[in-house]
Amino acid sequence: MTHMTIPEKGSSREAVISNLKSMKSGDADWHSGQLFGLIYEAGERVEKLVREAASLFMIENGLSPLTFPSLLKMENEVVSMVLSLMEGDDHTVGCTTSGGTESIFMAIKAARDWARQEKPQISKPRMVVPVTAHPAWNKAAHYLGIDIVMTPVDDCFRADTTAMKDAIDENTIILGATAVTYPHGMVDPIPAIGTLAEEYNLWLHVDGCLGGLMLPFLRKLGYDIPAYDFRVPGVKSISADVHKYAYTPKGISTVLYRNSDLRKFQFFMYTEWPGGVYGTPSLAGGRPGSAIAAAWAVMHYLGKEGFLQLAQDARSATEKLMQGIANTPPLYVLGKPDATVFAFGGKDVNIYELSARLKDRGWHAEAQHLPASLHMTVSPIHNTIVDDFLKDLGECVVDLPATDAEDISEMAAMYGMIGTMTDRKVAREFALAYLDDLYNLK
């Protein structure tokens, strides 16, 4: 393969920026509220604030708290504010990380090392996690050498606690639960899972990556939110992403522990390096100051009042969208979602074809499978587009092909294919080849 080389001579700043802008023009237009995922959009004034805060600390490196004490102070304050939302007490502590994946990774690593001390007889550790858990769990299991057993969910897409109990064996060290599952937007029955964790002396990590900065505000607004935080005995750690429902640019999440003895299992320290004593709280070495500053800024800028308003906007949009979808046969909402994320399917129709038609009109309601459905992550901004979306949805749903129809668009066929391939090993190989191809220069 011939590689692209760094140009012999540089270009002007104007030319470079203009090039970037032109590349960007082919991307999804999230400002308009047509994207239901990836970006958590709270409107122009929040965007302006985070851009300004991030740029102030764009170059500073979070690796050295002694060189940039401002970043350390901001990090500790951000963690503390998130802890206060999780009903922590004087003993609860936490850290920031680069994102939900790293937060989950860190909690699982801490739990593994805790088990090495608490349950030294276990040589092949194992965790029990509902199928709706985020793939970051599978990734962490894969990287950290832990077996992972996926248990089914009930008819409402919440963890089946009996199945989890049945899956616990003598090698099990970790139970997983999620407070707002990504695929369907549910809160798992965490008190019941917490009881199991206590009964078997297991580490329960609650993945609040998606719900962590949303559920506390919905609860304050009076919505009936099931228990999921440190009030539940048995919960040892919680992850909560700031770069989701705290509306900051990517690069910041939190991982929280019931006490500092548990958090110590996360830390890394090496004292014999010629480069000096090297310790980090989390996986990363160098860390962007921009993400930390933006997180700190948004919390002070919005205040509880601002978060409450945005949570109300997002939930109102969610309710109107779910209602509109339920009123558009053959579409239906999966289960009774607790917060601002949901999925919808279509009875006896090819739902992926609907996704393709919506995409032609600029809407991104992404496909998921097992069962086939479209996914909606709702942001405050969506409160302004509900009617437009439902109008387009009503038009796109007309004459959708049946589930087994052959005359469907290429995109819908692609979506459907991996989900329905009976040989899952072949499906995996196919998807891997696709990934490999993506990350080649074209």
Residues that bind ligand PLP (CB under 6 A): 99-101, 104, 134, 136, 178, 182, 207, 209-210, 241, 253
Rounded-to-integer distance, Cα 57 and Cα 342, Å: 35
DSSP calls for 255-287: EEESSHHHHGGG-EEE---TT--EEESSS-SS-
Rounded-to-integer distance, Cα 234 and Cα 109, Å: 18
β-bridge partners, 174:
127, 203
Whether residue 104 contacts residue 239, with contact meaning beta carbons closer than 8 Å, is answered with: yes
What is the pairing mode between strands 268-270 and 278-280?
A: antiparallel
Identify which of residues 207 and 353 has a Cβ nearer to ligand PLP in the complex.
Answer: 207
Amino acid identity for residue 227 in this structure: A
Identify which of residues 129 and 412 has a Cβ nearer to ligand PLP in the complex.
Answer: 129
What is the pairing mode between strands 147-151 and 126-130?
A: parallel
Rounded-to-integer distance, Cα 428 and Cα 416, Å: 14
Identify which of residues 152 and 303 has a Cβ nearer to ligand PLP in the complex.
Answer: 152
**Nearest approach, Cβ of 414 to ligand PLP (angstroms)?**
23
Identify which of residues 241 and 353 has a Cβ nearer to ligand PLP in the complex.
Answer: 241
**Nearest approach, Cβ of 229 to ligand PLP (angstroms)?**
15
**Nearest approach, Cβ of 392 to ligand PLP (angstroms)?**
26
**Nearest approach, Cβ of 322 to ligand PLP (angstroms)?**
19
**Nearest approach, Cβ of 311 to ligand PLP (angstroms)?**
16
Identify which of residues 133 and 356 has a Cβ nearer to ligand PLP in the complex.
Answer: 133
**Nearest approach, Cβ of 275 to ligand PLP (angstroms)?**
29
Rounded-to-integer distance, Cα 217 and Cα 235, Å: 20
3 state SS of 163: helix
**Nearest approach, Cβ of 150 to ligand PLP (angstroms)?**
15
**Nearest approach, Cβ of 404 to ligand PLP (angstroms)?**
32
DSSP calls for 73-136: HHHHHHHHHHHHHTT--TT-EEEEESSHHHHHHHHHHHHHHHHHHH-TT-SS-EEEEETTS-HH
Identify which of residues 106 and 354 has a Cβ nearer to ligand PLP in the complex.
Answer: 106
3 state SS of 140: helix
Nearest of 267, 287, 306 to residue 45 by alpha carbon: 306
Identify which of residues 186 and 356 has a Cβ nearer to ligand PLP in the complex.
Answer: 186
Is the alpha carbon torsion for 42, 43, 46, 48 positive or negative?
A: positive
Inter-helix orientation angle 289-326/69-85, to 10° = 30
**Nearest approach, Cβ of 182 to ligand PLP (angstroms)?**
4
Tokens of 373: 């459905």
Amino acid identity for residue 335 in this structure: G
Identify which of residues 160 and 241 has a Cβ nearer to ligand PLP in the complex.
Answer: 241
223, containing H or E segment: none
**Nearest approach, Cβ of 179 to ligand PLP (angstroms)?**
8
Amino acid identity for residue 313 in this structure: D
Identify which of residues 182 and 389 has a Cβ nearer to ligand PLP in the complex.
Answer: 182
**Residue that has been written with the tokens 């945005």 in this structure:** 310
CB 15: neighbour CB atoms within 10 A? 10
Identify which of residues 252 and 325 has a Cβ nearer to ligand PLP in the complex.
Answer: 252
Question: In this chain, which residue has its C-beta nearest to ligand PLP?
Answer: 100
CB 19: neighbour CB atoms within 10 A? 11
